[in-house]
Structure 1
Amino acid sequence: MFSASRPFVDSSGQTSAREDEPDADNPVGVPCRVKVVTRGLAFLLIVMLVGLDCLSQASRRSPAAFATCDRFSGSVKAMSLQAADGLLHGCIAEGKLTVWNPDLSGVQVGGSQGVAIDQAAMSPDGTTLGVADAKGVVSVWDLSNWRRRAEIPPRTARSSSLIFSQDSITLATADSLGVRLWDVSTANPIAGPRLDLPGVSGLAFDADDRCLAVGTKDGAVRLWDVAQGSQSASFRAHPVRVSSLAFSQDGRVLVTSSNLDQFARLWDITTGRLLRELDARSQIQEVAFAPGDRELATAAFDGSVRLWNVATGETRCVFSEGDGPVTALAFSAEGATLACGGIGVIRLYRHDESSRTTSRSRQASSTKRAAGDRTNGKMADTYSQID
């Protein structure tokens, strides 16, 4: 048996101190325990400081809503803050067409579709609402007087999507047979090429209304020349259903998302390359570019709304609804307010971009780094064309 003071000799003949043997730098007893306790306290202090910093950042990045309304039932299908009077117009899944005053303290029902609403869209100029009910009927409403301007009879049982053109003159509707274009003022079909494509799940017009992006249930996106009726490009955007699409105001970037995954993807329309992939950490329900195209809002199933820096892909702000899925987003015309609608609740948030933007030098370096990433092939994969 080895003595406590005798060195340990290994199989190679080397002499070394035993692991449990004291040395001059680490004496046995109270000083050793003091050192261990001191290191433990230091580690605990570091953890506490990091935690406080995280909480501080979270509080800065999760501002509270300045107005809330929860005096209704059903999920919000569409909203508009574009009206000159500052009113918030919207429609609820149960068929009610509703208007809220600017601070959400008052609400009134302006009209009713009569049956539950499957799909809804607001015109970009904030004057017209299009709704598709559970019977497949598409109605066009004038928001100035809540008058039903026209009805489009159903071709099939249900409509899968509808969207207004950027000039608010044309309404595109999709069902199981394909996509049709309608004159908003008369609700008559527009003469020209038709898009007979089954499985359409999302639509978006570009800035000049020449291109219609069509998302399908198999995860593909097809870009169609509206005037010619021809397909200019197609690519696989998601593994499954493309539920939301939106063009940037300059028409150069298309964002796509699927309510079956948690990623929003930004695409360069000119090259067909994937610019960025944004992880919202929950299934994305809606997407919307803020005025100016510098920020993108994503609304998720877990109730969170994230604002992203389009140039860098960084999360600038996170709003937490905490009331279930966020089903509708709307920016005010000047971009100062973001409206988030969910199941039985609407909240308004300040969208003060200047308070979140970084310095010019940091923006320049981030843009340069992003360009370098694209050059190196990071987040710039080109999806294969599909027929």
Structure 2
Amino acid sequence: MNASSRRPLPEIRHILPHESTVEAELIERAFAAGPYGHLPKSAERRYFERDTAGRAASGAVLVSVDDDGRVTGTASVLRAATPYSRVAVPGEAEIRLLAVDPATQGAGLGEALMRASLEAALEWGADALVLDTGAANTRAQALYERLGFDRVPAREAAVSSVEVEALVYRYALQQRDDVRVRLMRDDEAEFVSELVESAYAVDFTLTDDYRASIAAVGERARDHQVWVATDAASGALLGTVSTPRPGGAISPLARGGELDFRFLGVAAEARRRGIGALLVDHVLLLGRLRGVRRVVLNTGPEMVSAQRLYDRLGFERLHEREYHFTRSDGSSFLMLAYGRESDDATDAATGAASKTSAA
């Protein structure tokens, strides 16, 4: 099965205040139907499941909803060192209470919620997303392993008990120790605007209209994702790239099952640090998390260094999608198109839908 033939993704979003009771009831049903549903539940555990607001304050509570707006699944993504996090170390995010309504099992909601949780942690700039699950929850384990999580046995004894042998899993999200990639903050928009405009001006002849489009970072961030690469030690901004939010596109180039990106730029002082390649690898990682079949982009013929980068990273020209772009002054150029098949466009990553009820 490839990404283009998968079921339409459910809507996954942050929980709304009025859905808290429904979400807590769903968690209770899901865990009761799971392999540990026979175990007595402590008062502390009951409070944890019902404290939706507390979990949201520690990170984010995501829910999947059907066409009628009913909550069908949930996952809590928590920052390390918050009250309900228990296996994450500083810099990591943790997922807890992944639960799918037993009535909707087999629809792929467990996998969709896991992918959305990974992306939420990526947006924060987390080093990794971690979780623990019981050894008897084999369906959950199969899901995590299919998505690319690795076991961390060294952390398991601390969260195991007489009743439940715990397994800990980790998915690395950052590719280098010296650089962090995360979503841009609102107060960084002006600096990012200057960074990307300057980067484009080095290789590209900018018309007034195109310069304004490149510089409109704040407006772009309202509809799309503006990512920044930062120095892990100093926090200095090193580069940026923009992608669409799940289900959308940031250019006319993208087709169904594809992820496109635009406005890749590296600060002058950060050149020759591999930041451009890192940001493209970040987009490829995002494509894997979303399960897309291909990552695509447009670039101009003057941007030779960018073309060399894409060639080196395994992108190929999409000649059939190229066209002549006419500038406002009447001049024109051939808009080049590149694409690379996603590492996740395989049966291993897009196989049978998850039947996980809870983890």
TM-score grouping bracket, smaller chain normalisation? under 0.3
Q: Give the TM-score of the pair, scaled to structure 2.
A: 0.26
Decide which structure has the larger Cα Rg and report it.
1
Question: Which structure dedicates a bigger proportion of its chain to strand?
Answer: 1
The alignment's TM-score, normalised by the length of structure 1, stands at 0.25
Relative contact order, higher structure (CA 8 A, sep 6+): 2
